[in-house]
Chains A and B, each alone.
Chain A
Amino acid sequence: DIQMTQSPSILSASVGDRVTIACRASQSIDRWLAWYQQKPGKAPKLLVYRASYLQSGVPSRFSGSGSVTEFTLTISSLQPDDVATYYCQNYYGNSYTFGQGTKLDIK
C-alpha cells in the first residue's frame, strides 16, 4: 500500500494567517490526490481533488498544489470556521489511503 504522511500533526495559527499543510506519498501518485476537511462530529467534506482542483462551493482561500510525491494544502487567510482536521487521500492505482490527519486550531 502507498503510505501518506502529513505534517504537521497539530497546527495552531492566528486568524488571517497563511497556513500550509504538507502531505507526502511513499511513491509516485502523479496528481491523484484529494484533500478533505472534517469538523468534530461531522462527516468529511471534499475540498480539493486532482491535487489542485477546488471542489465547487469551497472558499477560494483554500488551494492545493503538488505532484508525484509532495503535496500541499494552503489556506491563504485563516478564518475561525476553518478549525477542523484535514486529511489528504491518494487515489492512485489500487491504493486509496488517507494521511493520518492534521488538526488545525486558532491561537
Chain B
Amino acid sequence: VQLVESGGGVVQPGRSLRLSCAASGFTFSNYGIHWVRQAPGKGLEWVALISYDGSHEYYADSVKGRFTFSRDNSKNTLYLQMNSLRPEDTAVYYCAKDAELGKSAYYFDYWGQGTLVTVSS
C-alpha cells in the first residue's frame, strides 16, 4: 500500500491550493480516504473524509465550506481543493486510508508521507 501526496507549498492568505494523493497497492474503490493534518510541532487533526465510492464527504468544522474533497477512482487519485486559506491552515497534510473495507470506520491503517502547506504573506 502506498499513498503519495503532492501539491503543497507556500501560499498567501485568502488564496487557494489543490493537494493530490495518488494511491496504489490496494483496491482503491473499496476504501474511504481521509486527510489528517499536523501543524508544525503540534498534534494531529482530522480534516476530511471521502467515502469509498465518492458519494459522501465529511469535513471538520474548521475547514467546512472552504475545502472540497474529491476522488477519481479511474485514476486512483484524490484531490483536496483548499480555498480561502488562513495562516492556521499551515500544516503537514497527510492522506490516510480508512482501515475497514466498504465503510467509513474513521481510523487509519496506512498514511502517506505528507505534504507541507504554509499559508503566509
Residues of A within 8 A of B (CB): 34, 36, 42-46, 49, 55, 87, 89, 91, 96-101
Contacts and interface: CB of A to CB of B under 8 A. Distances in A.
Nearest to A98: B44
B43 A87 contact: yes
Contact of A91 (B36, B106, B111, B112): B106
Contact of A87 (B44, B105, B109): B44
A34 B112 CA distance: 18
Given A36-B44, A89-B107, 8 more contacts: A34-B107, A43-B112, A46-B108, A46-B109, A91-B105, A97-B46, A98-B45, A100-B43
A64 to B, nearest CB: 12
Describe A's contact surface by its main secondary structure: loop
Most chain B CB neighbours (cut-off 10 Å) among A44, A45, A100: A44
A89 B46 CA distance: 10
Given A43-B112, A43-B114, A46-B99, A98 B106 contact: no
A101 B39 CA distance: 13
Nearest to B5: A43
Interface residues of B, number: 16
Interface in B52-110: 94, 99, 105-109
Interface string B20-54: 00000000000000001000000111100000000
B113 interface: yes
Contacts of B113: 42-43
A98 B44 CA distance: 6
Contacts of B43: 87, 98-101
A91 B107 contact: yes
Contacts of A42: 113
Contacts of A97: 46
Most chain B CB neighbours (cut-off 10 Å) among A43, A87, A97: A43
A55 B111 CA distance: 14
Nearest to A97: B46
Contacts of B105: 91
Contact of A96 (B46, B99, B109): B46
A98 B46 contact: yes
A79 B95 CA distance: 29
